[in-house]
Every structure is written in C-alpha cells, then in structure tokens.
C-alpha cells in the first residue's frame, strides 16, 4: 500500500541538516575529540545550554550517526572523529558552515529563482562573478568547503582512472589545489599546474606548501573564461566541478580552449555529478542542478551524453565515462586529443 511516509522524509529533510549545522557551530565534535565522553549535564555547562535542548541535541546527533551512546554518555562516532574535528587534515566543517551560512536561507526563496531564472546568493548587477574576492571571509569558507569535498573526490577518480602514464596536468579552475595535490601524491611522476584567479592561487599555494608539494604542484594566475588561451605543454587537462557552473555555449568555449592547449594525444578529464542520459536522476546530480539555479546565472548539471556531444564537436575522440562514488562527483568523462592535431 502506498503511504505518504516517503513524502514526510522529504518534508523534514532540513531538520537533519540544521541539527548537524548547529552541532558544528557549537564545536560539539571538536570538544569531545579523542574518545572523550560528554554527558547531558556536562553539555549544559560546556555549551551554555539548558538541560532540555542539550538532551535533544545529543540524542538527535546520535540518531544521525554523528555520536555514539555509551553507558557514560556520548562520544564521537568514527565519522565525526575523522571529519568533524577542527584542525584535522580532512575537516568537513567548512562545507557544513558554507551551506548553512551561504546557501540555506537563499534556498528558502527557491520559488523566486524558478520564476526569475536568477541566482539568489549574489547580485549579477552588483558583482562581475560569484567567485570574486569582495567577501574574504565567505570566500575562505567556500574554498575550505570545496577542498574537503575535492580531496576525497580526487581519490575516487584516481582509483577509477589510472594516471600513472601522465606527466603534466593542468587543473583548470583548480581552486585550492585539492585535486592536484591528491593526484600528485598518488602518482609520483606527475606534475600539476593549478590555474585560477590570483586570490584563489594564494589559497592553493598555502595548501600546496602544507602538503610539502611545492615544486611538484605550481599555480598560475589566470581566468579560464576571459583569457584567450590556456597554458600549454600539458598532456592532461582536468575540469573538476567546473562545467556545472556555466551554460552550454560557455562550456563549449571552455572545451575549445582545452583542446587547443592540450598536447596532441593528451587526455581531458571532466569530473562531475553526472545526470543520467535521460535526465531522470540520480538525485545528487539533479539536486546539485537546483543548487546551480540558486548560485549561478547559467549553470546546471549535465548528462554524460551532453558532455560527449560537446567533446566530439570540440575535436576530441575516444570518449568514455568511468563511474565512481565520491562527495563531489559520481563519474568522469574522458576523451583524447588526436595525436595528429
């Protein structure tokens, strides 16, 4: 018998996120790192909460798999201990905070975005791009969010596609360098160049230095949209979570620049949350498309078939798709530039 139970899950989905975000904002998981146990009574003192909200928060976090209940109280789950303790290498709190502070309230006006086809998190009349440096604090939060997501997506890509034969990678719009760092770690013969805006390259340089990969991964300041050409001399070009930000004509322009810059016989990698070819799912790709409505002027998530069509028109051959599971992508579309080009 059909019941409305699945619909109730959709209706209350934001309860989970806001509980999660509130716990991150309080620093709950950082406070009890290293196996420490927190009781309701301790939480009232530690976080300045009354007994009722402290009890409800801890129980809710346990129900979400973020805490574990012991005889003595609550402690971090393995997931929270690994990714939600501030200062750890793969801290995911930046992603949580970015979504909570940047996109959550604009999403309340999704109907407006549907009617106007205009972004809600910024004003295109007042700013040239959503990636500008006018709000340094939010920008830093954004790149931290992207870095934590991208590290594990890069690992999944490296498992799904063997880059051991490649020597020079151009990471177009590479942000804070997570993909370049992780792919070079996995492939000692690989050298990478992160191409991004000057203020973003500064963030990447810091991450590269912290990873002790200075000299292996470098940055080049540039604008892959405005610049007429991309840096050449690379046998691999990576576009990770880039093309969903733009409309079809812009993406074809970007792919044309990639084709021109890529060494003959080289490979292009498009890593994205890919829609099924019939555009009926999966949910993570389709809903990211809705988020592009909130955050961009022309972005949307695309299917593998659409990427294959654009790559063919750009001159690429041997087009194929590899699937994987990761926070920022579910697959990559791969293609080659003919050796005689």
Rounded Cα gap, residues 10 and 17, in angstroms: 12
84: number of Cβ within 10 Å: 24
Rounded Cα gap, residues 297 and 125, in angstroms: 11
**What is the arithmetic mean of pLDDT over 102-108?**
95
Is the pLDDT at 341 greater than 80, yes or no? no
**What is the arithmetic mean of pLDDT over 152-171?**
96
Is the pLDDT at 111 greater than 70, yes or no? yes
Q: Which residues contact 26 (CB under 8 A, 6 or more apart)?
A: 47
Check residue 239 and give its pLDDT. Answer: 98
Q: Which residues partner with 68 through β-bridges?
A: 75
Q: What is the pLDDT of residues 45-57, one digit of tens each?
A: 999 999 999 999 9
Q: For the stretch 263-278, what's the b/e string if a residue is b when 16 or more beta carbons lie within 10 angstroms of its beta carbon? A: beebbbbbbbbbbeee
The larger pLDDT score, comparing residue 192 to residue 199, is at 192
Check residue 127 and give its pLDDT. Answer: 78
Check residue 130 and give its pLDDT. Answer: 67
Is the pLDDT at 24 greater than 70, yes or no? yes
Check residue 146 and give its pLDDT. Answer: 83
In whole numbers, what is the pLDDT of the chain averaged over residues? 95
Check residue 89 and give its pLDDT. Answer: 84
Rounded Cα gap, residues 270 and 261, in angstroms: 15
* Residue 199: active-site member: no
Q: What is the pLDDT of residues 283-315, one digit of tens each?
A: 999 999 999 999 999 999 999 999 999 999 999
- Helix extents (H) in the chain: 5-11, 13-26, 28-31, 40-47, 51-63, 78-83, 93-98, 104-107, 110-116, 136-160, 178-186, 198-210, 248-261, 283-295, 304-314
Torsion of CA 176, 132, 329, 253, to 10 degrees: -110
pLDDT above 90 coverage of the chain, percent: 89
Check residue 143 and give its pLDDT. Answer: 75
Residue 76 CA, distance from chain mean position: 24
Q: CB–CB of 263/248 below 8 Å? A: no
pLDDT above 70 coverage of the chain, percent: 98
Check residue 135 and give its pLDDT. Answer: 72
Question: Of 282, 292, 294, which Cα lies nearest the Cα of 329?
Answer: 282
Q: What is the pLDDT of residues 131-144, one digit of tens each?
A: 665 677 777 777 77
Check residue 316 and give its pLDDT. Answer: 98
Q: CB–CB of 178/154 below 8 Å? A: yes
- Domains annotated for the chain, with CATH where assigned, are 5-88 (1.10.10.10), 95-336 (3.40.50.150)
Is the pLDDT at 38 greater than 90, yes or no? yes
Burial class, 236, CB count within 10 angstroms (exposed 0-12 / middle 13-18 / buried 19+):
buried
- The residue from 108, 199, 234, 244 that is catalytic is 244
Check residue 156 and give its pLDDT. Answer: 96
Burial class, 284, CB count within 10 angstroms (exposed 0-12 / middle 13-18 / buried 19+):
middle
Q: What is the pLDDT of residues 207-256, one digit of tens each?
A: 999 999 999 999 999 999 999 999 999 999 999 999 999 999 999 999 99
**What is the arithmetic mean of pLDDT over 58-70?**
98
Is the pLDDT at 105 greater than 70, yes or no? yes
Rounded Cα gap, residues 112 and 254, in angstroms: 30
Pairing of strands 262-272, 234-240: parallel
Q: Which residues partner with 214 through β-bridges?
A: 217
Which three-class secondary structure state does DSSP give residue 252? Answer: helix
């Amino acid at each position: 018998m059909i019941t409305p139970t699945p619909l109730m899950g959709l209706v209350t989905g934001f309860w989970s996120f806001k509980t999660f975000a509130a716990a991150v904002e309080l620093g709950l998981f950082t406070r009890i790192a290293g196996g420490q146990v927190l009781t309701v009574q301790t939480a009232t003192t530690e976080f300045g909460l009354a007994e009722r909200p402290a009890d409800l928060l801890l129980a809710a976090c346990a129900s979400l798999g973020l805490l574990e209940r012991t005889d003595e109280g609550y402690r971090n789950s393995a997931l929270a201990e690994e990714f939600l303790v501030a200062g750890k290498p793969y801290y995911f709190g930046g992603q949580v905070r970015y979504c909570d502070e940047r996109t959550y309230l604009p999403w309340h006006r999704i109907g407006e975005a549907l009617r106007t086809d205009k972004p809600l998190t910024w004003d295109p009349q007042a700013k040239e791009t959503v990636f500008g440096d006018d709000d340094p604090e939010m920008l830093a939060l954004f790149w931290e969010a992207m870095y934590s997501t991208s590290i594990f997506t890069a690992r999944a890509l490296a498992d799904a596609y063997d880059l051991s034969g490649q020597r020079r990678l151009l990471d177009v719009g590479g942000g804070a360098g997570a993909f370049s760092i992780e792919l070079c770690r996995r492939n000692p013969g690989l050298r990478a160049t992160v191409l991004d805006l000057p203020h973003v390259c500064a963030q990447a340089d810091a991450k590269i230095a912290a990873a002790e990969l200075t000299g292996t991964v470098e940055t080049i300041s540039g604008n892959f949209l405005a610049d007429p050409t991309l840096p050449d001399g690379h046998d691999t070009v990576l576009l990770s979570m880039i093309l969903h930000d733009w409309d079809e004509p812009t993406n074809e322009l970007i792919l044309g620049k990639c084709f021109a810059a890529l060494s003959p016989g080289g490979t292009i990698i498009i890593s994205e949350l890919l829609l099924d070819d019939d555009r009926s799912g999966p949910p993570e790709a389709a809903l990211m498309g809705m988020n592009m409505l909130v955050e961009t002027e022309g972005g949307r998530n695309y299917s593998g078939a659409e990427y294959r069509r654009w790559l063919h028109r750009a001159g690429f051959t041997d087009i194929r798709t590899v699937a994987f599971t990761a926070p920022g992508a579910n697959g990559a579309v791969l293609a080659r530039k003919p050796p005689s080009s």
